[in-house]
Amino acid sequence: MTLDDLKSRAVSTPSIASLFDDEPDRLDRMCHRVGPLRADFSKQHVSADDLEALIAMADTLDVPGWQQRLFAGDPINQSEKRAVLHTALRGVGGKAVADDVAAMRARMGRFATDIRSSNRFDDIVHIGIGGSDLGPRLVADAFAATLTASPRLHFANNVDGASVNDAIRGLDPKRTLVIVVSKSFGTQETKMNAESVRDWLTAAGCSAADHVLAVSANRDRAIDFGIDPDNIFDFWDWVGGRYSIWSAVGLSLAIAYGPDAFGEMLDGAGAMDRHFRDTPMAENIPVLMALIGVWNRNAHGYDSLAVIPYARRLRKLAAFLQQLEMESNGKGATRDGGQAGLTCPVIWGDEGTNGQHAFFQWLHQGTSHGGNGGAPVDFVAVLKDHEDRPDHHLALLANCFAQSEALMLGKGEAVVRQENADREDIDSLAPQKTFPGNRPSTTLTLDALTPSAIGHLIALYEHKTFVQGVIWGLNSFDQWGVELGKVLAETILSELESGEAGQHDPSTIALIRMAR
Ligand SMILES: O=P(O)(O)OC[C@H]1O[C@](O)(CO)[C@@H](O)[C@@H]1O
């Protein structure tokens, strides 16, 4: 079976509800666990036979070979001629870099411990954007389920002055540590925010050497920017920005929440790496998640995937996954220069239960191109109550479980007619109150929101993204599509500063003139 065959195959897949009748072992076969993370794929619109065919397709497309090349440190990021070794940061694969990784982790651990015990700083301002921001923000929230940040953590990402102003508002510069995180150290937003915070420090009589650290894979540029060489934490070009939370990019987390928590997160991710590397595809959670995502995209024609954590402390998950999946696989050219077919869907979402009072109407009854309305959903729930509010927690879980059941079962028109038999407008009302159902979802549960569990969860999505890239024929580790806008923004910025609009389309010239 090839990607092109999926659509015709899906036409004969029975409804999700009837798959439970047809396949008595469905629940057991479609639920898998690694440590604290359990994945339930049974409410996906895919039969046992479909899944078997998808696994055979993955085999034909050499997913196992790509897995081996990933862990071996082969230069699988071909367009940039780089290895992809974020798993080595979790102690799995990439033997050649193990010493560098161990040395950096030891330095981070010592540094974090010193800062925590010195009581020199009340606050950390973490400056970065994209992969140098989204992971640390997601994890900082998640760690707060079980730990208290000390020093407190603040983030500045956007070039909008509101971002840096919000981050430093009310802080005492003398008691603030600034960590500038940029793999390239060439990112406009990060450099501007770093300059503004440095001005804020020096205006208060603080020396940048005592207050500003950098984390970068480009030491020279960090030094040129004026960072003291002793204050630079390096990482390497074989760590992609959106896969970098495990490197020194996580330094602010290690300081604020302690190196032990950071290490537990790495160990959790490492456990997911070993599962991914060593488990047959039929039981391999990242592989199954990837294949089901491909099925939903290429067979059922869904354009998006909603990610709904029923856990407030994971509310940045969708934003994180937007970069991870859409920057990795939002591409139209294959790695050998061919034309790709349908690739990464739009990733979106918000925390449950809030989303229920906003976009769930669309999930249940919305229409979309190609006939399948709504979107597949990844529900993420945490079984343990970390807030000491058992009544709230049970209500939260009840809502999560109810939504996946409602999406799957829907509500038929006959039932609606029976319930509303006394309405004289029943003919117009019944279709409006009918739920088509048969809408697919996965439910991921974490036993508790521990650092290990968040490590498992992020690594799961990383490997899912990798496998999907292999199946779609993409290089998931470059991002040429972000360059054009960056270059144009530099040009327009100089024109805004000089007041002279250059060669543009009429709309852009009018906007430049207006801003002047
Ligand atoms: O860490 P850097 O080099 O500042 O880059 C930030 C982000 O910008 C991007 O290059 C996209 O513009 C991302 O891939 C990256 O995570």
pLDDT at residue number 370: 63
Lookup: tokens for 488: 């144009």
Give, to the nearest 10 degrees, the angle between helix 63-72 and helix 48-60.
60
Euclidean distance between CA atoms 404 and 16, whole angstroms? 12
- Atom of ligand 1 minimally distant from the CA of 216: 1
- Atom of ligand 1 minimally distant from the CA of 244: 16
pLDDT at residue number 369: 67
Q: What 3-state class would DSSP assign to 10?
A: helix
**Is 190's C-beta closer than 6 angstroms to any atom of ligand 1?**
yes
Euclidean distance between CA atoms 194 and 201, whole angstroms? 10
Q: Ligand 1 mean position to 480 CA, how many Å?
A: 11
CB atoms inside a 10 Å sphere around CB 234? 17
Lookup: tokens for 133: 């921001």
CA–chain centroid gap for 40, Å, is 19
Q: Ligand 1 mean position to 317 CA, how many Å?
A: 18
- Atom of ligand 1 minimally distant from the CA of 190: 4
**Is 182's C-beta closer than 6 angstroms to any atom of ligand 1?**
yes
> Which residue's alpha carbon is nearest to atom 12 within ligand 1?
482
> Which residue's alpha carbon is nearest to atom 14 within ligand 1?
241
Q: Ligand 1 mean position to 187 CA, how many Å?
A: 7
Per-residue pLDDT tens digits for 401-451: 999 999 999 999 999 999 999 999 999 999 999 999 999 999 999 999 999
**In sequence order, what DSSP letters do the residues of 110-141 get, joined into one string?**
HHHHHHHHHT--SEEEEE--GGGTHHHHHHHH
pLDDT at residue number 500: 86
Which of the residues in the chain have pLDDT under 50? none
CATH of domain 86-266: 3.40.50.10490
Euclidean distance between CA atoms 132 and 215, whole angstroms? 9
**In sequence order, what DSSP letters do the residues of 43-81 get, joined into one string?**
TSS--HHHHHHHHHHHHHTTHHHHHHHHHHT---BGGGT
pLDDT at residue number 11: 93
pLDDT at residue number 512: 92
Euclidean distance between CA atoms 190 and 216, whole angstroms? 12
- Atom of ligand 1 minimally distant from the CA of 217: 3
Lookup: tokens for 18: 């009837």
pLDDT at residue number 410: 97
Contacts of 25 (CB under 8 A, 6+ apart): none
**Is 86's C-beta closer than 6 angstroms to any atom of ligand 1?**
no
Please report the ipTM that was assigned to this predicted complex. Answer: 0.98
DSSP state of 14: P
Pairing of strands 232-234, 304-310: unpaired
> Any idea where the domains of the chain sit in the sequence?
86-266, 480-515
pLDDT at residue number 37: 98
pLDDT at residue number 315: 98
Side chain identity at 217, as an amino acid letter?
A
Compute the radius of gyration of the chain from its Cα atoms: 25
Q: Ligand 1 mean position to 193 CA, how many Å?
A: 15
Q: Ligand 1 mean position to 113 CA, how many Å?
A: 28
| Burial (0-12, 13-18, 19+ Cβ within 10 Å), 61 | middle
> Which residue's alpha carbon is nearest to atom 11 within ligand 1?
482
- Atom of ligand 1 minimally distant from the CA of 486: 12
Q: Ligand 1 mean position to 162 CA, how many Å?
A: 20
**Is 241's C-beta closer than 6 angstroms to any atom of ligand 1?**
yes
pLDDT at residue number 371: 61
Q: Ligand 1 mean position to 473 CA, how many Å?
A: 23
Task: Name the residues annotated as catalytic.
Answer: 327, 357, 486
Euclidean distance between CA atoms 241 and 134, whole angstroms? 10
Residues in the chain: 516
**Is 183's C-beta closer than 6 angstroms to any atom of ligand 1?**
yes
Each as own residue / partner, the long-range contacts of residues 106-113 (CB below 8 Å, 24 or more positions apart, any chain) are: 107/233, 108/233, 108/248, 108/250, 108/251, 108/254, 108/259, 108/262, 109/254, 109/259, 109/263, 111/233, 111/251, 111/255, 112/251, 112/254, 112/255, 112/258, 112/259, 112/262, 113/259
> Ligand 1, residues 155, 482, 490: which to mutate, most atoms within 8 A of Cβ?
482
pTM above 0.95, yes or no: yes
Containing 271, the helix (H) or strand (E) segment is helix 259-278
**Is 130's C-beta closer than 6 angstroms to any atom of ligand 1?**
yes
The residues pairing with 442 across neighbouring beta strands, listed in sequence order, are 378
